[in-house]
Amino acid sequence: MADRHSLLCCLMAADFAAHETRLYLDTHPCDEAAMNAMEEYSAQAAKLRAEYEHRYGPLTGVPGKTDGGCWIEDPWPWNYGFHEGVCR
């Protein structure tokens, strides 16, 4: 992955695809192709999440371990500039 922004965008896309496929499976529980796709999207999202958290720290407020509060020095969510582009 090139940078923090593109890694986070790709993670959001994979999470979105997994979630939408789960919703589809609510009404089509026997669709094996959708089940396989959901498993692939979920695995991709888990891999991207692990990579992001390894590089940049936790995405949620419940991390497995703490780094002593260094996260406060990172940019705030509104400082990332997501309006400048989409996942590339």
Q: Check whether 75 has a pLDDT greater than 70.
A: yes
Residue type, 86: V
DSSP 61: S
pLDDT at 88: 47
The answer to whether the CB of 13 falls within 8 A of the CB of 87 is yes
Least reliable range by pLDDT among 43-47, 75-79, 80-84: 80-84
The answer to whether the CB of 25 falls within 8 A of the CB of 34 is yes
The arithmetic mean of pLDDT across residues 18-26, rounded, is: 96
* Distance separating alpha carbons of residues 51 and 69, to the nearest angstrom: 20
